[in-house]
Amino acid sequence: MMRSHAERALPTLVIVGLLLAWELGVRAAGIPAYTLPTPSLIAQTLWLNAASLGHSWWVTLQITLGALALACAGGVLLAGVFALSPLTERALMPVAVVLQVTPIVAVAPLILIYVDSTHAALLLCAWIVAFFPILSNTVIGLRAADPQLRELFKLYRATPWQRLALLRVPAALPYFLAGLRISGGLSLIGAVTAEMVAGAAGRETGLASRILEASFRTETPKMFAALALLVATGVIIFWITGALSRRLLGPWHASESAAPH
Amino acid sequence: MADASAPLIQLQDVSKRFASGTAALAGVSLQVSAGQFVALLGPSGCGKSTVLRLAAGLEQASTGQVDAPALRADATQPTAFVFQDPTLMPWATVFDNVWLPLRLQGVPRQQAAPAVQQVLTRVGLADFAQAWPAQLSGGMKMRVSMARALVTRPRVLLMDEPFAALDDITRQALNSDLLAWWAAEPMAALFVTHSVAEAVFLSQRVLVMAARPGRVVAELAIDEPYPRQPAFRHSPAFAQACLQLGQALAAAHAGEGAPA
């Protein structure tokens, strides 16, 4: 019990230790705040700019979660179509791969030209980055059902719908959730990358715009403050998708139970 | 309804060649009537699983005739299949796993519950209805698999080395239990095994198969009181049958065949 408490506290202790080393190191070396601010100054800046940073955070969060939701819907839907029709998969998978391998920073300017609404353009960019892991994982998952279980369903003359609902979907769930955990982080990366390309202009802009803005003015503490919010957001998304995965797979799946695989 | 003595499962001069070109079976004929327990005994790769899969409709014969309830359009005589692995759905509880065959026939949970509970009681897992497969031992998982097979009250029970992965003690216990379940509701049973002792203990008739191509090379009726009691394992008749089958199996393995 003691050991498990210590193990749990370990990551927190490491982070607190690193922040403390940072704080003391910067103070001891007398590094100016515009080069490297101390964590305490970053926290202070975050507090003083809470309104503007909070607003930008909300904009970025909306794009991130919107893109993630669309990635889930699009990825799962497309995976379903691919699973039912291998021909469609052969026809469309290359397109999905092309979308996946194209660096988003490079396409984002084009998307911003073609799509009138900046919000929609940002959403599209983040979606392109986020949807592929969900798609490819779910496609594999829908095919991952134990062949003998499939034969059992055949023997009992299951309808295609029963096969999907009772066999293929449950078998695909661990794969989908693994994809979701990757896509959660990617949708944030996609959103911020697209914002960076879109630039600082406009009122309804996200945290990337605050970072750019602060960089033009050499407000390094504010850059770090915005960055801290982004990191926190990423970590929270990672936690939530992880908790969801444990909640849904906990009792039965090897990856989420104590027993080794 | 067909009359009781007519064979439920019938293979007539069946051969099976896989797409890869492998000749799995050549000229196999066999019959299993209602309430008969027949074992298919042979070395690995002799096509005994293929025979089972033909009878279940999971494979089609290349030539010859196969007739079995599983191949008919009307499912009035349900067929159950037990794989070597328990083949449970890991995402479903024991109850839901056993419910599956009924669920696929459209029987709702409430209505299926008495039958599921009854069959779980019969296999000794009444208290484990809400357990997850991952929490069970290998023997218990196999019991769940058996319960799932029995829940439809099948007329035909096809088993593909179901106890091969279990330790000897568990295996013998499950052999006795299987005969008790069979006695409660006699079925046409076709049991694939590579264990001579298991074949002798369980079945009324043993078909010995040889490999490449798979064929039946010997047939031995075991005319001892049935269903067998555990004491049968220590009787001279048991030893005699094992010896006879062992010799037939050795001859088949040597590729010489044996007089049928």
How many structural domains are present in chain B? 2
Q: Is residue B246 part of a domain?
A: yes
Do B49 and B166 lie in a common domain? yes
Single-letter residue type at A79: A
Q: Is residue B111 part of a domain?
A: yes
Q: Supply the range of the domain harboring residue B102.
A: 88-153
Count of pairs with CB atoms under 8 A, one residue in A, one in B = 54
Of B138, B153, B168, the last residue of a domain is B153
C-alpha B145, offset from chain centre: 12
Structure tokens at B8: 């439920």
Confidence of residue B257 (pLDDT cuts 50, 70, 90): very low
ipTM summary value: 0.88
> Taking CA atoms, what residue in B is nearest to A261?
B134
pLDDT at B71: 81
Please report residues of A whose CB lies closer than 8 A to that of B70: 155
Q: Is residue B4 part of a domain?
A: no
Do B183 and B125 lie in a common domain? no
Please name the residues in contact with B233: beta carbons below 8 A apart, sequence gap of 6 or more.
B172, B197, B201
pLDDT at A40: 93
Of B153, B186, B210, the last residue of a domain is B153
pLDDT at A76: 93
pLDDT at B2: 45
Closest of A143, A152, A141, A261 to residue B87, by C-alpha: A152
Q: Which tens digit of pLDDT belongs to each residue from B137-161? A: 988 999 999 999 999 888 899 999 9
Do B67 and B109 lie in a common domain? no
> Taking CA atoms, what residue in B is nearest to A163?
B104
* B-proximal residues of A, 89-148, CB under 8 Å: 146, 148
CATH number at residue B66: 3.40.50.300
Do B166 and B229 lie in a common domain? yes
Do B43 and B129 lie in a common domain? no
> Out of A60-64, B4-8, B85-89, B232-236, which region has the weakest mean confidence (pLDDT)?
B4-8
Q: Which residue has the tokens 């892991």?
A: A133
- At A23 the three-state DSSP class reads helix
Do B195 and B110 lie in a common domain? no
Q: Is B244 exposed, middle or buried (0-12, 13-18, 19+ CB in 10 A)?
A: middle
Give the span between the Cα atoms of A94 and B88, in whole angstroms: 36
Q: Is residue B197 part of a domain?
A: yes
Q: Is residue B259 part of a domain?
A: no
Instruction: Answer yes or no: is pLDDT of B17 > 70.
Output: yes
Do B172 and B145 lie in a common domain? no
Considering the entire predicted model, what is its pTM?
0.82
pLDDT at A75: 92
Instruction: Answer yes or no: is pLDDT of B256 > 50.
Output: no
Q: Is residue B3 part of a domain?
A: no
pLDDT at A202: 60
Do B100 and B121 lie in a common domain? yes
Q: Which tens digit of pLDDT belongs to each residue from B177-201? A: 899 888 888 889 999 998 999 999 9
Q: Is residue B83 part of a domain?
A: no
| Cβ distance of A253 and B91 shorter than 8 Å | yes
pLDDT at A200: 56
Do B160 and B248 lie in a common domain? yes
Nearest to B134 among A152, A158, A257 (CB): A257
Do B126 and B227 lie in a common domain? no
Do B64 and B160 lie in a common domain? yes
Do B159 and B231 lie in a common domain? yes
User: Does B71 contact A at CB distance below 8 Å?
Assistant: no
Kindly give the parts of chain A with pLDDT less than 50: 1, 258-261
pLDDT at B164: 87
Of B153, B180, B206, the last residue of a domain is B153
Give the span between the Cα atoms of A147 and A202, in whole angstroms: 55
Q: Is residue B1 part of a domain?
A: no
> Taking CA atoms, what residue in A is nearest to B89?
A149
Distance from CA of B169 to the nearest CA of A (A): 25
| Residue A27 CB neighbour total at 10 angstroms | 11
Distances B166 to B4, B216, B224 between C-alpha atoms, Å: 35, 27, 26
3-state secondary structure chain B: CCCCCCEEEEEEEEEEECCCCCEEEEEEEEEEECCCEEEEECCCCCCHHHHHHHHCCCCCCCEEEEECHHHCCCCCCCEEEECCCCCCCCCCCHHHHHHHHHHHCCCCHHHHHHHHHHHHHHCCCHHHCCCCHHHCCHHHHHHHHHHHHHCCCCCEEEEECCCCCCCHHHHHHHHHHHHHHHHHCCCEEEEEECCHHHHHHHCCEEEEEECCCEEEEEEEECCCCCCCCHHHHHCHHHHHHHHHHHHHHHHHHCCCCCCC
Average pLDDT, chain B: 87
